Every structure is written in structure tokens, then in C-alpha cells.
């Protein structure tokens, strides 16, 4: 199954699942309570997004000042953005995944898992770049 097909399937199934869960939860705790719960998760998510985003930005700046590549912090930043977007999307499944992305311990586990499965390293980009000039060091002598 191609990436496009997986994304298409996710864009179809996730909203159906979210609507189903909202209806089920609404029938158990009431419609107004369900709406307030969705709004509450968005407010908490926005607060978490703000605090975790600032902390990660400071981590990126500190790492750059030390002269290192902030790979870890940048990956965490991607998960923070993803978590914020998911928490602003109404629904319980997206809220759960969004909170997983915003809770620091769980986010670090996601970054670790991503690094282990995708093998992102800073050297893999710099050593294999086809556009970099190739220089051979050495001495030469011209014979006429």
C-alpha cells in the first residue's frame, strides 16, 4: 500500500471513528458535556503547546550555541506541532494522540522510536550530498 493510499485511508477512517466516538460519548455523558470536554482538551492542548514549544525552542538555541546539531530538539519540535494540531482537531482519538505528542516523556520515546526506525543522523546528509564538490588533496608535478 502506497503512502498516498495510507493517507487517503486515514483521512476517511479517522473522521468516521471520531464522529462515532463523539456520538457514543455524547449518549453516555450528554451532548453539552461532550462539547465542553472537547473544548477543554483544546484549551489544555494550547497551553501545553505553548509551554512545551518554548522549552523546546530554548533547547534548540542552547544546542546551537554549543556548536552541535539540534536533531533531537528539532524532532521534538515536529511532534509538538503535530500534537498541537491534533489537539485543536475535535475528537477523542486525535486528542489522545495529540497529548501523547505533547507529554515530554512520551514525546521523547516517540523521538527515540523514530530515530531507531528511520535512522536519521546528521552525517548521513552531509556525506552523501551529490552537489558537494569532490576535492582530492595532494601534490602534483608537471612534466614537459
| Length, in residues, of the chain | 144
Q: Three cell numbers at 78?
A: 515536529
Taking CA atoms, 81 is separated from 24, 48, 54, 99, 137, in Å, by 29, 11, 12, 11, 45
pLDDT for the residue numbered 25: 94
Taking CA atoms, 23 is separated from 31, 45, 71, 92, 108, in Å, by 8, 22, 41, 11, 33
d(CA 32, CA 79) in angstroms, rounded, equals: 31
Average pLDDT (92-98) is: 93
The chain-wide mean pLDDT, for the chain, equals 85
pLDDT for the residue numbered 12: 93
For residue 130, pLDDT over 60 is answered with no
Contacts of 80 (CB under 8 A, 6+ apart): 49, 52, 53, 56, 101, 102, 107
- What is the value of pTM for the model shown? 0.71
pLDDT digits (tens, 9 = 90+) for 32-82: 999 999 999 889 888 888 988 898 889 999 988 988 888 888 889 999 999
Query: Domains of the chain: which residue ranges?
Result: 38-118
Average pLDDT (128-143) is: 68
Taking CA atoms, 115 is separated from 8, 69, 76, 103, in Å, by 25, 15, 11, 18
Phi, psi of 137 (to 5 degrees): -80, 145
pLDDT for the residue numbered 127: 46
Of residues 52 and 119, which shows the higher confidence score?
A: 52
Amino acid at each position: 500500500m502506497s503512502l498516498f493510499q495510507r493517507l487517503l485511508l486515514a483521512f476517511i477512517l479517522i473522521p468516521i471513528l471520531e464522529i462515532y466516538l463523539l456520538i457514543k460519548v455524547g449518549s453516555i455523558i450528554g451532548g453539552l458535556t461532550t462539547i465542553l470536554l472537547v473544548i477543554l482538551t483544546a484549551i489544555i492542548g494550547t497551553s501545553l503547546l505553548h509551554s512545551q514549544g518554548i522549552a523546546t525552542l530554548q533547547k534548540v538555541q542552547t544546542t546551537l550555541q554549543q556548536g552541535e546539531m539540534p536533531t533531537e530538539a528539532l524532532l521534538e519540535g515536529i511532534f509538538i506541532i503535530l500534537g498541537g494540531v491534533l489537539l485543536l482537531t475535535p475528537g477523542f482519538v486525535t486528542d489522545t494522540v495529540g497529548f501523547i505528542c505533547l507529554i515530554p516523556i512520551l514525546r521523547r520515546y516517540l523521538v527515540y522510536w523514530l530515530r531507531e526506525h528511520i535512522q536519521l543522523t546528521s552525517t548521513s546528509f552531509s556525506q552523501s550530498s551529490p552537489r558537494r564538490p569532490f576535492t582530492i588533496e595532494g601534490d602534483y608535478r608537471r612534466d614537459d
